[in-house]
Amino acid sequence: MAVKTDEDSNLELCKALFNNSLDPILLTKTDGTIFYANPAAEDLFGYKKAEICKLGRKGLVDSLDKNLSLLLRQRIAYGKAKGELTMVKKDGTKFPAEISTNIFSYAGNNDCTFMIVRDISKRKLNEKQIEYHSMLLSSVNYAVVGVDENFKINYWNKGAEDTYGYTESEAIGKTTHKLLQHINFLYKNMESRPKTNFIIDTFNKKMEKIVVEVNSTKVVDNSGNKGYLIVYHDITEKQQEEEIKKKLREHEHILTDQLQTTNTDLKIMTEKLKATNKELMLQQDYLLNLNQELEEREELSQALNRVNAHINSKHSYDEIMEFLLEEGVKSIGAESSVINLLENDKWVVKYSYNFPDSIKGQVKTPGESPTSVYIANERKAVAFNDAVSDPRVNRESMETHGIASLLVAPILINDAVIGVIAFYYHKNQVVFSEAQVDFADKLSSSLSHAVENSKLFETLKKSEKSITPSTLQ
């Protein structure tokens, strides 16, 4: 009976480790030949060991994956490599895999390689879900803040940046009560209840007071880590309205008490009361106007949300442009609209709403389109309430199309004006509100993003067409 040497024992140990490893392991050569695959590799790919060895690297790796050549060069340069590849199972299913590989010498051969393959499909799916949830939170207008159990900030959305002026990098790692300078004894209530709601004073980066309604939800992950998702809703204007109403009520009480004086004083108080009533009416008119403006801004904000949702949808570029024009017209109560793009120093009508189809494709020189030139210089939305007599517009064109008033905003990409979007009133002249002008600016910004995304998408398609699969040796 032969006596086992240490080398034999080590070889048996290695085989036992390979066969019992939970990770798929492949022993290969640098040319892609596979001469060993453990049971975990068989389970992962769906092939038997002999089939895996016969297929070699070309049969297991997606030939279109450009990461393969990068990993091979890295392994040649350093003797080892680690990265991600798209691999293919027996049933044709492609899956993302994390690869760890290194070159070693065995029995005089210096081109042997050891490779561990891990299926990271679930991890990739989790990463996409996290990215999607982050995108949803970032699109919320309210300030949404994530904190750990010690109330240190670990998430800070775009709404929080807009509300408080701190960037994400400035906020991460700070405690909410120190950054926003609000009282911290409320944390006790948050710790004892899964959900809380309260109103507190906070301060932004400019040390301006912001009254917020706070909604807090306790969160516990699968590992038992605790934290909170906190939503800060700015109600400063609402509080100011309440304070004005309170002061008005106080004035009324004071005046009522003073009316209990003598007849002489009563006459004086009557005059004061008239003056106060006039002031109250002015205040009431102010509140009504303010409420109307708030309602208008809310409606326009919802319209912008619908536009942005459409931009981020799977609709085609033309469908997005047509929807944007129609939604803009309906939101500000206009009757028609166009999008002009600057091409070769001339203004070309690309899209229109409620105009004859013949208007599309019309080309105008800067002299024929002074309004577009003016907006390009101003770089902001401008209202032309009297299109009939305003010298900044082409009055002949206004008369031809029966335009009484118009609102125009620039389309900018990389700080360069590439076009304008315009909304028209035909039947009557109107005076555009500040909210409508602000809406036009924001709508043009969304339009700019849509145009820029379209240009990037076209560039990417051209880039993909220029790539051809390389033959791996």
Per-residue pLDDT tens digits of the chain, which is 473 residues long: 454 555 556 667 767 887 888 889 998 998 889 988 999 899 999 999 999 999 989 989 998 888 888 999 999 899 899 999 999 999 999 999 999 999 888 777 778 898 999 988 888 887 777 666 666 566 667 888 888 888 888 888 888 888 898 998 898 988 888 888 876 655 656 666 778 888 888 898 998 888 888 888 888 877 778 888 888 888 888 777 877 888 888 777 776 666 666 667 767 777 887 887 787 777 776 777 677 778 878 888 898 898 888 888 778 888 888 999 999 999 998 999 999 999 999 999 999 999 998 899 999 999 899 999 999 999 999 999 999 899 999 988 898 889 999 999 999 988 889 999 999 999 999 999 999 999 999 998 888 888 777 665 555 555 555 444 443 33
- pTM value is 0.41
Q: Please, which residues bridge with residue 368 across strands?
A: none
Helix, strand or coil for residue 15? helix
Measure the CA–CA gap between 403 and 398, rounded to whole angstroms: 5
Residue 72: count other Cβ atoms within 10 Å of its Cβ. 17
Q: What is the DSSP string of 97-144?
A: EEEEEEEEEETTEEEEEEEEEEE-HHHHHHHHHHHHHHHHHHT-SSEE
Are the beta carbons of 113 and 100 closer than 8 angstroms? Answer: no
Measure the CA–CA gap between 57 and 31, rounded to whole angstroms: 9
Residue 165 falls in which region: left (phi positive, over 0), alpha (psi -120 to 50) or beta: left
Residue 260 burial class via C-beta count within 10 angstroms: exposed 0-12, middle 13-18, buried 19 and up = exposed
Residue 66 burial class via C-beta count within 10 angstroms: exposed 0-12, middle 13-18, buried 19 and up = exposed
Element (H, E) at 156: strand 153-156
Residues 6 or more apart whose Cβ sits within 8 Å of residue 45:
24, 52, 60, 87, 89, 90
Residues 6 or more apart whose Cβ sits within 8 Å of residue 390:
384
**β strands within 292-449, DSSP E:** 336-343, 346-353, 363-364, 382-384, 405-413, 416-425
